[in-house]
Amino acid sequence: MILSCLLLFSSAFLAATILPFYSEVVLFALLRDGGDPLLLVTIATLGNTLGAVVNWWLGRFLLHFQDRRWFYFKPEQVERAQRWFQRYGFWSLLLAWAPVVGDALTLIAGVMKVPLWLFLLLVGVGKAVRYISVVYLTAWTLL
C-alpha cells in the first residue's frame, strides 16, 4: 500500500508540472483495486498541489531572466498572460486542474505574485474536486 501511495503521489506531482503525466489513470487503477478513496484523494491532491507550487515558484523568479537570449517567452506573451490573469483574477486558479491551461495558470500566478496561502487554498480546492470526480466516475464505471 505504501508503494501504491508513493506512486500516486509521484504521478500527481509530475502531472502538475509541465511534464505530461496522467495521475487520474493511477488513481483509477488504485480505486479499482479496492484502495481507500479518502486516502487516495488526499494523497493525489497533496501531490498535485505541491507540484503546482513548483510552477508558482518558477513563476516568481521567471521574469528575472527575461532579458536572456535563451528565455522562452516573448515580452508580448508575458504581457498578454498578465493582462488575462488581471482580467479574470485569482479565482481562475480554481481551474488549475485543467489540462494544459492549468499549468500555465499556476506559473502566471507566481509571476503575478499571488500570495502562497491563497494559491494553495484555491489550487488545492480545484484539484481536490477533480480527484473526487474521478472517485465518483470510477464508482459509477464499476457498477
Strand, helix or coil for residue 85:
helix
What's this model's pTM, rounded to 2 decimal places?
0.88
Rounded distance between C-alpha atoms, residue 121 and residue 116, angstroms: 8
- Tell me the pLDDT of the chain (143 aa) as tens digits: 899 999 999 999 999 987 778 899 999 999 999 999 999 999 999 999 999 999 999 989 887 887 888 877 778 887 888 888 889 889 999 999 887 788 889 988 998 889 999 999 999 999 999 999 999 999 898 77
Rounded distance between C-alpha atoms, residue 21 and residue 42, angstroms: 18
Domains: count for the chain: 1
At 56 the pLDDT is 95
What's the domain range around 125? 2-141
At 142 the pLDDT is 77
Asked whether 66 and 73 are in contact (CB, 8 A), the reply is yes
